[in-house]
Amino acid sequence: MRLGTSTKAKVAAAILTAAIPMVGSFSASAQQMAANTPDFSRCDRMSDANPKGAISCRIDVLKAHGAAADVRGAQADVRGAQADVRLAQENVLAGCLGFLKAQKAAGKSFDRPISRDNACTVAQSMGMHPN
């Protein structure tokens, strides 16, 4: 089936109309990709005078870019591990608070105020077994 010129124009207009709202949602992603794209401008300037040097330059730029990405990845791994530690601490605290809540519901009284800092110590003194 062959489309007439006006039909092609209508289809193109419909595609453009549908695509325009999506452009804004990709701008942040496009900016992030641009920031993570290696800069070969120095290599491009030498490409006419020294083609082999330009290739070597591009390799060096890619290696440096890869090393920087490895550093960012390692930093993200550290942040993830720190978050895992904090989550584990919160889970332990939640267990202690749950134990203390059950003790209170059972009619037990506490000889001191309970806080985040002493909840597990108090719970363990009342018989909670550490995990």
Cβ atoms of 114 and 122 within 8 Å: the answer is: yes
d(CA 66, CA 60): 10
pLDDT in tens, the chain (131 residues): 444 555 555 655 555 555 545 544 556 555 555 567 889 999 999 888 999 999 999 999 999 999 999 999 999 999 999 999 999 999 999 999 999 999 999 999 888 899 999 999 999 999 998 76
